[in-house]
């Protein structure tokens, strides 16, 4: 396919006077996950502020590649365009993205993948101002660490030069990307949908834990299940609910471990639960736990805080940063199973003794991450870049 063929512009809705932001992301609704939620919330916030919004994404979910989703759809007011792709889920190839940029006032790329590189190297084709939000880059696991470091300091460095702003969604991302794009990397930490599960957690201290998120290798759900084996042996009242969607790990992978450890009564796996169902799970729980080895920001922990769940988090860089800001968060080393179980029991004891005060602090801290606040920071970036481009034109 030639460059000219790639950049044949498909017919889009008639132009309006308000600026059009085109978000580009490899997976979006109906898929659920932290990245998808960030883009959905940002899109809705910018729609409310008078922008037009389009999301360009892949036409199938990584967990169901054989099922093609509609080419065009509107979900919650967001215009979604889906395009075919090939290759791996880590670096999906989808050159038709260029067809849907012709009327954009600004292109916002999410994550460091094919889209990030292709739109950078093809900027002479589309000539659109661009920003990228890093979402943790591609360092979520240590697999192929040496190759990743070389790629980051070569290909990623050159690609980053094409973006008007590189936006780190955490302070750790800011530090990482400032190494290769020091003049135009800024931080806008992710917002949290603090209304989704607001104040839903149990008002009495219960020995019930919930974890929420994609079943990815870096989430180390096996470590959390191992900790549950220790907790359950100490007190059979302990229960863990795992809610999320399949990814690198499947439900069967988790069930194999649960069955091997004889935890069938202590651990429940919920696949594809919607927000209402997750809200009901949270209502019976007191603790949120994550054994994740890497997080770009820790969005789900903030949503848990907004529900009144006390987070017990693995001591990775992002979670450590959150704990430094929010004193109620409990850090643990989930590579040490007994130590992690001790930390969870300590969290429960604190809730039992000081539940209302801890809950009030968690809810207050979560409010600082409201999307109303975060969206204003993004809009300021959009306005500056679009305004500068219009003046130059």
In a domain, 213, yes or no: yes
Angle at 212 between CA 204 and CA 312, to 5 degrees: 55
- Cβ–Cβ under 8 Å, residues 292 and 274: no
User: Are both 179 and 319 inside the same structural domain?
Assistant: no
- What pLDDT, in 10s, does the model give residues 18-45? 999 999 999 999 988 888 989 999 999 9
- What pLDDT, in 10s, does the model give residues 309-320? 999 999 998 899
Distance CA 133, CA 106 (A): 13
Q: What is the pLDDT of residue 136?
A: 85
In a domain, 142, yes or no: yes
- What pLDDT, in 10s, does the model give residues 281-296? 999 999 999 999 988 7
Sheet strands (E) in 176-228: 185-187, 208-212
Sheet strands (E) in the chain: 20-24, 52-58, 72-75, 78-83, 106-110, 130-133, 165-168, 185-187, 208-212, 239-244, 267-271, 287-290, 310-314, 330-332
- Confidence category of residue 74, pLDDT binned at 50, 70, 90: very high
Percent of the chain scoring above 70 in pLDDT:
93
In a domain, 200, yes or no: no
- Cβ–Cβ under 8 Å, residues 99 and 10: yes
Residue that wins the pLDDT comparison between 372 and 391: 372
Phi, psi dihedral angles at 64 (to 5 degrees): -150, 65
Distance spanning both ends of the chain, measured CA to CA = 31
Q: Residues 206-219: what's their mean pLDDT?
A: 95
| pLDDT exceeds 90 at position 172 | no
User: Are both 184 and 243 inside the same structural domain?
Assistant: no
- Whose tokens are 């979520």? That residue is 140
In 3-state terms the chain splits into helix, strand, coil percentages (rounded to 5) of: 45, 20, 40
Distance CA 294, CA 297 (A): 9
- What pLDDT, in 10s, does the model give residues 324-377? 999 999 999 999 999 999 999 999 999 999 999 999 999 999 998 999 989 999
User: Are both 132 and 216 inside the same structural domain?
Assistant: no
- Whose tokens are 């599960």? That residue is 197
- A 10 A CB-CB count for 99 gives 18
Q: What is the pLDDT of residue 391?
A: 59
Q: What is the pLDDT of residue 65?
A: 93
Query: How many domains, the chain?
Result: 2
User: Are both 380 and 360 inside the same structural domain?
Assistant: no
User: Are both 32 and 75 inside the same structural domain?
Assistant: yes
- What pLDDT, in 10s, does the model give residues 139-151? 555 565 788 889 8
- What pLDDT, in 10s, does the model give residues 176-196? 999 999 999 999 988 888 899
User: Are both 241 and 335 inside the same structural domain?
Assistant: yes
Whole-prediction pTM? 0.77
Task: State the average pLDDT for the chain.
Answer: 92
* Class of residue 316 by CB neighbours under 10 A (exposed 0-12, middle 13-18, buried 19+): buried
In a domain, 50, yes or no: yes
Q: Which residues pair with 168 in a beta bridge?
A: 187
User: Are both 214 and 151 inside the same structural domain?
Assistant: no
Instruction: Quote the domain boundaries for residue 236.
Output: 208-367
User: Are both 141 and 223 inside the same structural domain?
Assistant: no
- Cβ–Cβ under 8 Å, residues 166 and 132: yes
Q: What is the pLDDT of residue 294?
A: 85
Output the six-digit token pair for 377. Answer: 């920071």
- A 10 A CB-CB count for 140 gives 18
CATH of the domain at 120: 3.40.50.2000
In a domain, 196, yes or no: no
Of the candidates 150, 191, 165, 173, the residue with the CA atom closest to the CA atom of residue 306: 191
In a domain, 199, yes or no: no
């Amino acid at each position: 396919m030639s460059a000219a063929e790639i950049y044949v512009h498909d017919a889009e809705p008639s132009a309006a006077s308000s600026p059009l932001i085109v978000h580009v992301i490899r997976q979006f609704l109906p898929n659920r996950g932290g990245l998808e939620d960030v883009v959905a919330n940002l899109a809705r916030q910018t729609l409310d502020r008078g922008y037009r919004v389009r999301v360009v994404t892949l036409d199938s979910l990584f967990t169901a590649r054989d099922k093609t989703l509609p080419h065009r759809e509107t979900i919650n007011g967001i215009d979604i365009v889906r395009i075919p792709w090939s290759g791996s889920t880590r670096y999906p190839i989808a050159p038709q993205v260029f067809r849907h940029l012709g009327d954009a006032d600004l292109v916002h790329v999410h994550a460091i993948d094919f889209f990030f590189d292709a739109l950078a190297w093809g900027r002479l084709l589309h000539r659109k101002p661009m920003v990228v939000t890093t979402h943790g880059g591609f360092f979520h696991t240590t697999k192929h660490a040496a190759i990743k470091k070389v790629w980051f300091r070569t290909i990623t460095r050159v690609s980053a030069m094409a973006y008007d702003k590189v936006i780190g969604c955490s302070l750790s991302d800011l530090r990482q990307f400032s190494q290769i794009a020091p003049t135009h990397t800024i931080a806008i930490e992710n917002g949290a949908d603090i209304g989704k599960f607001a104040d839903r957690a149990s008002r009495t201290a219960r020995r019930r834990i919930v974890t929420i998120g994609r079943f990815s290798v870096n989430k180390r759900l096996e470590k959390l299940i191992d900790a549950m084996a220790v907790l359950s042996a100490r007190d059979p009242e302990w229960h863990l609910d795992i809610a999320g969607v399949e990814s690198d790990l499947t439900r069967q992978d988790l069930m194999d471990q649960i069955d091997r450890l004889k935890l069938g009564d202590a651990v429940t796996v919920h696949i594809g639960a919607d927000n209402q169902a997750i809200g009901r799970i949270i209502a019976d729980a007191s603790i949120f736990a994550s054994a994740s080895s890497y997080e770009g920001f820790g969005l789900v922990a903030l949503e848990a805080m907004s529900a009144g769940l006390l987070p017990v988090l693995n001591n990775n860089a992002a979670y450590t940063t959150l704990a430094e800001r929010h004193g109620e968060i409990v850090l643990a080393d989930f590579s040490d199973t007994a130590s992690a179980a001790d930390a969870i029991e300590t969290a429960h004891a604190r809730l039992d003794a000081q539940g209302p005060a801890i809950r009030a602090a968690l809810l207050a801290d979560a409010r600082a991450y409201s999307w109303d606040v975060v969206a204003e920071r993004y809009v300021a970036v959009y306005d500056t870049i679009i305004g500068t481009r219009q003046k130059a034109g």
